[in-house]
């Protein structure tokens, strides 16, 4: 159905079938520009083929924006980041005489029109950016460095290190007061939005719609969840202290009563994890993960990681753990996959209130090299109840419903260390009760989601005269979906408060 001149990251992610045919020579649509990529729809006999073209991320700087640097842009209702080629450079690439015209405006962060999506009379489309780069900049959080000075980045990193060095000496009430005061600064961050940032998924829906229009019909892709489930619900817990370890049943008991399983991430050298606890959790069908070694702000520091990682792996072996979550969700794109775990769950979809704010802006898994990333997609319990002082689980429930409606993964992070807060305990039970009988949910452990994501990535969709079929390890439980104008990946969304509506500390 599709053939491409180069690998197309968007189709690779959604497992849409296509064939890569490296160009032998230019076919005339965009001259001989080696930095132009092309996805062509296979045409029926007698019809002309139509193409989606884009500027590769490895394009020469002259073909990018004026400064040769990635920027922040708006297209329709979503924000995206990347190198965007200005109109003058695009015109030099396009073959004249085909009626090319700017069809959709791309705006800079300040609202200025800076580029466009181009279309011609034959139905071809030209993107002045690389969709694969857009996705990577979101997933890796590299967008956070765009337009940010090296000095500012260094100062923030130094301040963060200083806070974690001083935190053990600060009384708990002082820590909470400082965090609450700082939320006013954090809430002012223009991107990503909180508690929901839909830009990446709106980008997916828009691009599917463009391609479906080119194809003149539905675009097949491999469904993101197995066995007919339309979304996933994943419960995880970080046990930060010995007190939290003693209080695990405050969260496990209500889960057990409702038939839920969950993952428990332990800090190996901070408190003693006895073998009986490990056996009991495994017997209940639960999972254990590694939450660093000491949870002292140094577990992922360059100076100490090489020394501590072997000990983390010793604990992982004893607990049969395959997953990792970094203490305080500290993370680095080039580091996380080098830890050697099957999956990592240290990224949030959006969270301005964490010590390392930001977010990967997705509620689906993705790969960081060979590691499956499972983003945390609901606000953390401590943030919601202790820092922002919410009284109930209303925001949790509404965001979970929002993610469910868009077919995503609701990955919850709670801590038994804070579960004596009655608001948290009641809120967690409300969340569990709300979705306890929802048969559309895949109630999975993190390791099960990671294993499925690997099976899905190793599978392909094949078409024949009788329709479509799945080849590969996902063939038994996978399903084939179709995107028509984005409807398969974009749903009507309930209203949610924006960051500017964050409650005051007195609420």
Tell me the per-residue pLDDT of 381-435, one tens digit each, with 9 for 90 and over. Answer: 999 999 999 999 999 999 999 999 999 999 999 999 999 999 999 999 999 999 9
What percentage of the chain carries pLDDT values higher than 70?
Answer: 83
Q: Is 224 helix (H, G, I), strand (E, B) or coil?
A: coil
CATH number at residue 236: 3.20.20.370
**Quick one: average pLDDT of 329-357?**
95
pLDDT category at 505 given cuts 50, 70, 90 is very low
Is residue 140's pLDDT more than 60? yes
Long-range contact pairs involving 177-183 (C-beta distance under 8 Å, separation at least 24):
179/353, 179/387, 180/387, 180/389, 180/505, 181/505, 183/353, 183/387, 183/388, 183/502, 183/505
What pLDDT does 465 receive?
A: 75
Alpha helix locations (H) across 295-441? 302-319, 333-336, 381, 394-405, 422-435
Say if CB 82 and CB 70 are below 8 A apart: yes
Say if CB 360 and CB 372 are below 8 A apart: no
131 and 278 in a common domain: no
Q: Which of 220, 215, 218 is nearest to 42 (CA)?
A: 215
Is residue 13's pLDDT more than 60? yes
C-alpha distances in angstroms, 131 versus 82, 117, 236?
A: 9, 13, 32
In a domain, 464, yes or no: no
The total of structural domains in the chain comes to 2
What pLDDT does 183 receive?
A: 63
Q: Is 97 helix (H, G, I), strand (E, B) or coil?
A: coil
Separation CA 180–CA 387 (nearest Å): 5
Q: Which of 42-56, 136-150, 163-177, 321-335 has the lowest mean pLDDT?
A: 163-177
Beta bridge partners, 460, equal 471
In a domain, 301, yes or no: yes
Separation CA 489–CA 406 (nearest Å): 6
pLDDT category at 109 given cuts 50, 70, 90 is confident
Give the model confidence (pLDDT) of 153-212 as tens digits: 555 555 555 655 666 666 767 666 666 665 666 566 789 999 999 999 999 999 999 999
Longest dimension (CA), the chain: 77
Say if CB 254 and CB 428 are below 8 A apart: yes
In a domain, 431, yes or no: yes
Separation CA 34–CA 201 (nearest Å): 30
Say if CB 35 and CB 56 are below 8 A apart: yes
pLDDT category at 257 given cuts 50, 70, 90 is very high
Q: Which of 122-126, 152-156, 460-464 has the lowest mean pLDDT?
A: 152-156
**∠ Cα 413 452 82 (to 5°):** 70
What pLDDT does 30 receive?
A: 42
More confident residue, 63 or 279: 279
What pLDDT does 219 receive?
A: 95
Residue 254: its H or E element: helix 249-257
What pLDDT does 202 receive?
A: 97
pLDDT category at 94 given cuts 50, 70, 90 is confident
β-pairing, 460-464 with 263-266? unpaired
β-pairing, 231-239 with 263-266? parallel
Place of tokens 């949030």: 348
In a domain, 330, yes or no: yes
Q: Which of 217, 220, 257, 260 is nearest to 237 (CA)?
A: 260
Which bin fits 341, alpha (ψ -120 to 50), beta or left (φ > 0)?
A: beta
What pLDDT does 272 receive?
A: 97
DSSP 124-173: -EEESS-HHHHHHHHHT-GGGGTT--HHHHHHHHHHHHHHHHHGGGS-HH
User: What does the block give as tokens for 18?
Assistant: 């296509």
Give the model confidence (pLDDT) of 284-320 as tens digits: 999 999 999 999 989 999 889 999 999 999 999 999 9
pLDDT category at 148 given cuts 50, 70, 90 is low
User: What does the block give as tokens for 280?
Assistant: 């009991």
In a domain, 195, yes or no: no
Say if CB 81 and CB 146 are below 8 A apart: yes
What pLDDT does 498 receive?
A: 41
243 and 120 in a common domain: no
What pLDDT does 351 receive?
A: 94
What pLDDT does 280 receive?
A: 98
Give the model confidence (pLDDT) of 442-453 as tens digits: 999 999 999 999
More confident residue, 331 or 504: 331
In a domain, 209, yes or no: no
129 and 260 in a common domain: no
* Among 120, 139, 158, residue at a domain's last position: 139
Q: How many CB atoms lie within 10 A of CB 176?
A: 14
Residue 203: its H or E element: helix 199-215
* Among 139, 154, 185, residue at a domain's last position: 139
**∠ Cα 409 439 406 (to 5°):** 35
Say if CB 100 and CB 327 are below 8 A apart: no
Is residue 330's pLDDT more than 50? yes
265 and 135 in a common domain: no
126 and 25 in a common domain: yes
Residue 277: its H or E element: helix 275-283
Domain that holds residue 80: 2-139
**Quick one: average pLDDT of 137-142?**
98
What pLDDT does 464 receive?
A: 80
What pLDDT does 365 receive?
A: 98
Say if CB 95 and CB 77 are below 8 A apart: no
273 and 398 in a common domain: yes
User: Whole-number mean pLDDT of the chain?
Assistant: 88
What pLDDT does 339 receive?
A: 97
**∠ Cα 38 39 41 (to 5°):** 135
Separation CA 40–CA 19 (nearest Å): 10
pTM: 0.90
116 and 238 in a common domain: no
pLDDT category at 97 given cuts 50, 70, 90 is confident
Is residue 357's pLDDT more than 50? yes
370 and 497 in a common domain: yes
In a domain, 447, yes or no: yes
* Among 139, 156, 178, residue at a domain's last position: 139
């Amino acid at each position: 159905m599709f053939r491409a001149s180069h690998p197309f990251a968007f189709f690779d992610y959604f497992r849409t079938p296509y064939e890569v045919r490296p160009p032998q020579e230019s076919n005339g649509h965009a001259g001989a520009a080696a930095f132009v990529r092309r996805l062509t729809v296979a045409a029926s006999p007698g019809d002309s083929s139509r193409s989606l073209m884009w500027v590769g991320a490895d394009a020469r700087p002259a073909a990018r924006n004026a400064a040769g640097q990635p920027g922040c842009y708006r297209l329709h209702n979503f924000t995206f980041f990347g190198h965007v080629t200005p109109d003058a450079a695009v015109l030099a690439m396009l073959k004249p005489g085909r009626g090319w015209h700017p069809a959709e405006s791309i705006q800079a962060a300040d609202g200025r029109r800076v580029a466009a999506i181009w279309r011609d009379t034959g139905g071809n489309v030209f993107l002045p950016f690389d969709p694969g780069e857009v996705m990577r900049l979101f997933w890796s959080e590299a967008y956070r460095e765009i337009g940010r000075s090296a000095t500012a980045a260094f100062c923030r990193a130094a301040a963060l290190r200083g806070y974690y060095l001083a935190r053990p000496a600060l009384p708990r009430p002082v820590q909470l007061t400082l965090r609450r005061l700082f939320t006013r600064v954090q809430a002012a961050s223009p991107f990503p939005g909180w508690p929901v940032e839909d830009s990446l998924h709106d980008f997916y829906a828009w691009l599917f719609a463009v391609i479906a229009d080119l194809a003149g019909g539905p675009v097949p892709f491999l469904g993101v969840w197995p066995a007919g489930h339309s979304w996933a619900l994943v419960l995880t817990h970080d046990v930060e202290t010995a007190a939290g370890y003693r209080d695990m049943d405050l969260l496990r008991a209500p889960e057990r009563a409702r038939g839920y399983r969950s993952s428990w991430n332990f800090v190996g050298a901070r408190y003693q994890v006895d073998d009986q606890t490990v056996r009991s959790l495994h017997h209940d069908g639960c999972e254990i993960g590694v939450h660093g070694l000491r949870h002292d702000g140094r577990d992922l520091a360059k100076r100490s990681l090489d020394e501590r990682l072997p000990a983390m792996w010793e604990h992982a072996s004893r607990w049969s753990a395959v997953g990792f979550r970094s203490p305080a969700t500290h993370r680095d794109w080039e580091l996380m996959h080098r830890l050697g775990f099957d999956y990592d769950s240290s990224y949030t979809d959006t969270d301005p209130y964490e010590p390392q704010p930001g977010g990967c802006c997705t509620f689906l898994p993705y790969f960081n090299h060979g590691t499956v990333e499972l983003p945390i997609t609901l606000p953390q319990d401590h943030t919601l109840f202790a820092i922002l002082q919410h009284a109930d689980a209303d925001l949790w429930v509404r965001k979970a419903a929002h993610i469910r409606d868009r077919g995503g993964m609701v990955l919850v992070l709670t801590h038994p260390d804070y579960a004596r807060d009655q608001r948290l305990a009641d809120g967690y039970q409300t969340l569990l009760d709300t979705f306890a009988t929802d048969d559309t949910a895949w109630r999975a452990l993190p390791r099960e989601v990671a294993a499925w994501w690997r099976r899905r990535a190793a599978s392909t969709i094949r078409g024949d005269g009788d329709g479509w079929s799945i080849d590969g390890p996902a063939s038994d439980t996978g399903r084939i979906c179709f995107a028509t104008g984005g409807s398969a990946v974009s749903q009507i969304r309930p209203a949610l408060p924006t960051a500017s509506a964050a409650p005051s500390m007195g609420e």
